[in-house]
Structure 1
Amino acid sequence: MTKLRTTTLIAAAAMIVAPTLSLAQDGMARAKERLSAYTSKPEFVAPGEPFDIKQCAAGKKMLSIPNNSANPFLKGIIDRMKTVGDKIGLEVVEWENQGQPSQWVQGFDYAVRDGFDVIDLISGISPDTVEPQIKAANEAGIKVMTSHFYDPSFEPNPLLSSSLPIGFNEIGRILANWITVNTDGKGRVALIVSREVPPTIPLVDGFTEELAENCPDCEIAQEINVGVAEWGTKIQPSVQSALQADPDIDVVVPIYDSMSQFVVPALRLTGKLGQVKVATFNGTPFVLDFIQQGAVSMDIGESLDWIAYATVDGHMRDLCGLPVPDKLNVPFYIFDESNATDAGTPAEFDTGYGDAYVSGFAKLWGLE
């Protein structure tokens, strides 16, 4: 009787474990398949029909206002947009500022006063904070647009002429699938976010949804929310505390890779450097150097030069009355220990992605 009962219990347990194993195996297979799209050199996909961009851009001026000129990522994009502008006859000017809303307002005043045709709010300035200025620009015949700011799921401010969003939700899903594959489906994660930044929300949503679907045994052990202005003072001690309180954490995800400069010292001081995986997003060169040094595991990169071409393309289509792409035509590409040196040593912003976009846009614009 006892033997029969034991056999029955074992059989019942097996029936419970089998579906769980199947779920995990199915999730792993999905994660690997979805991740594969980001591990090959990016290919150029035309964002719309061919058009004569020189005719559209001739004599036109675009003022690009970043949320802060101290951000090398944004400044790098604008510098490259200037170069693209030179090729097509578009004057691109940066409104340099230190991230003060009053300075953004001054940028709008300058654009109206000097007869610009386009104002580009690039990655960080919410149109909601400058609505009176957008109205004034519209009345002066200036088209106001955003780039690299909204997620495609967001409803753009109705005062905008158009918007070129990027897939922040998609980025979250890539991070989740990478963790699934690289922890054998058992990752215990410390997630570092800045919820004050609007794109953080769809990114984290994509991350948590994909992790739940494909990695049932993964767990977000702790979410660390740090405001952008406090990165330098709060990220390192918060990560140290998290690792000391929970030594089973095996992955740290700073969702924006500039956070990594404060994560790496925390790992070093806790003796976890090289043991705890770090997965992140942006492709900033110093973080790609971290990968080469073994301090960071993975970074989802995007070429600044490609962003510049795609931004100019979308804005010129709007300016000339053509359909505008529903998102910024820039692919994501995973850098890890296998290919980080392709970005250069030391790494550079535009190296490692290939140059398919250069000839792609040239043909699309009728330049060759």
Structure 2
Amino acid sequence: MTFRNSLWLIPMILPGAVHADAMADAQALIATHTEIPVFVPPGEPFDARSCMADKSVFSIPVSMTIPFAVALEDGMARAAAEVGFEYTVWETQGGMDSYIQGVDHAVTQGYDLIDLAGGINPVWIGPQLLQAKESGAVITTTHLYDETQEQADFVDASARVPFSSVGEILAAWAYVETEGAPNVLIIGSDDVLPTGPFVESIQDQLSTYCPECEQQYLNVPLAEWGTRIQSGVQSALLANPDINYILPIYDSMSQFVTPALRIAGVEVPIASFNGTPFVLDMVREGTVKMDIGESLGWAGYAAVDAQMRQLCGLEVPEDLGIPLLIFDSANVETAGIPANFDDGYGDAHIAGYRALWMLD
């Protein structure tokens, strides 16, 4: 079991250091993410169909064995079909060789833009992407960097995700749910690029709300979720039986947290992020308390908007701009029974992007 910042955080409290309106602030932040989102244009309208008439995009997902990646690619493919330009998904199963082969194929076929989607760090295949740029291709990423992170030098544009903002919501939720006395176990994976700012955001926000409250971080590499999360949670609960909230920052981790709670014979609420359908089903069943969702259909349209703006010489938004929606027992059934990646968020983005791209 590996811990980062695993000492209990009990800093000295100076006079006036406690945020007097912490509870009100936390409740207000939560409230802003409980309503069906409205569409906010990420830029000026443009004639997308005319601009993209002779352009093509080649997308390399992290792995088409991951439902999240499949749903994100489906959203991007639907958006490209609306506009009517060539959009190709490289059917990778993951792995460096597959990513490199994808870049080589895109260069050989003369694609205008190569997008790394759903978590591929471009540094992993930097030499190949540099060669692609030399051949004239534009390089972008989708759903990789946090809003606070700088993209690699050879990347032209990044459709960032507000992981740091998600961290603030998770901290607010734990603070409110524990009536201002959180004793929190945060679980993350330091080998996943946005984890650093994501976890730091939770830690900083909790410390702002409650400097004297306890928090602990458990780092489990992505490849070891199935073997180390359960044992790590069990060890943490044994060392500190007063833990009253668990925040696995990527919601698929939750499936390995719940067995640890059953074995320990305790009920500790769980809140997380991503809106993965099986976790939303866990919310409906009461196994998980809350999940912050993101519509991957909306994310797909937003990503294609950023790609087109890059190819059309327009200003590209700094992030995907997709809304974050809290799912709990009050609204989780709107995500479908069983849940899916798109229901529950409304469909304002479809008409919104069609108008933005001058398709209507």
Q: TM-score range by the shorter chain?
A: over 0.9
- Corresponding pairs, count: 348
Which residue among 204, 218, 236 is the counterpart of 1:242?
236
Aligned runs of 1:15-164 on 2, under 5 Å? 23=18, 25-164=20-159
For the structure 1 residues 189 and 277, does the alpha-carbon distance in structure 2 shift closer, same or farther, using more than 3 Å as the test? Answer: same
Q: CA deviation at 1:24?
A: 5.6
Q: TM-score, normalised by structure 1?
A: 0.91
Report SS of the residue matched to 2:253: helix
Paired residue for 2:226?
Answer: 232
Please tell me the root mean square deviation across aligned C-alpha atoms, in Å: 1.7
| 1:278 is the counterpart of 2:270 | yes
Report SS of the residue matched to 2:144: coil
Report SS of the residue matched to 1:334: strand
Question: CA separation in 1, counterparts of 2:159 and 2:75?
Answer: 17
Q: Quick check: which one's helix share is greater?
A: 1
Q: TM-score, normalised by structure 2?
A: 0.93
Question: Which of structure 1's runs of 4+ aligned residues deviate more than 3 A?
Answer: 22-25
Question: CA separation in 2, counterparts of 1:265 and 1:65?
Answer: 34
Higher relative contact order (CA 8 A, sep 6+): 2
1:122-161 Cα shifts (integer Å, max 9, x gaps): 1321121212111111122111101111112212112112
| 1:316 is the counterpart of 2:328 | no
Report SS of the residue matched to 2:329: coil
Q: CA deviation at 1:208?
A: 0.8
Identity of aligned residues (%): 48
Aligned runs of 1:206-355 on 2, under 5 Å? 206-220=201-215, 222-272=216-266, 275-355=267-347
Mapped contact 1:166–1:328 kept (Cα < 8 A): yes
1:14-66 Cα shifts (integer Å, max 9, x gaps): xxx9x77x936511111112222111111110000001111122232211112
Question: CA separation in 2, counterparts of 1:161 and 1:181?
Answer: 40
1:78-106 Cα shifts (integer Å, max 9, x gaps): 02211221111122211122321121111
1:246-279 Cα shifts (integer Å, max 9, x gaps): 221111111000101111121222222xx31101
85-94 vs 307-316, which deviates more? 85-94
Question: CA separation in 2, counterparts of 1:105 and 1:271?
Answer: 47
1:245 maps to a residue whose letter is A
| 1:366 is the counterpart of 2:354 | no
Question: CA separation in 1, counterparts of 2:210 and 2:59?
Answer: 41
Mapped contact 2:19–2:208 kept (Cα < 8 A): no
2:274 maps to a residue whose letter is N
Q: CA deviation at 1:244?
A: 2.8
Mapped contact 2:61–2:69 kept (Cα < 8 A): yes
Mapped contact 2:167–2:198 kept (Cα < 8 A): yes
Structure 1 runs not aligned, ≥5 long: 1-16
Mapped contact 2:230–2:256 kept (Cα < 8 A): yes
Question: CA separation in 2, counterparts of 1:60 and 1:308?
Answer: 18
Report SS of the residue matched to 1:59: coil
Q: CA deviation at 1:323?
A: 0.4
Mapped contact 1:59–1:89 kept (Cα < 8 A): no
Paired residue for 1:14?
Answer: none
| 1:356 is the counterpart of 2:348 | yes
186-195 vs 92-101, which deviates more? 92-101
89-98 vs 250-259, which deviates more? 89-98
Question: CA separation in 1, counterparts of 2:229 and 2:134?
Answer: 44
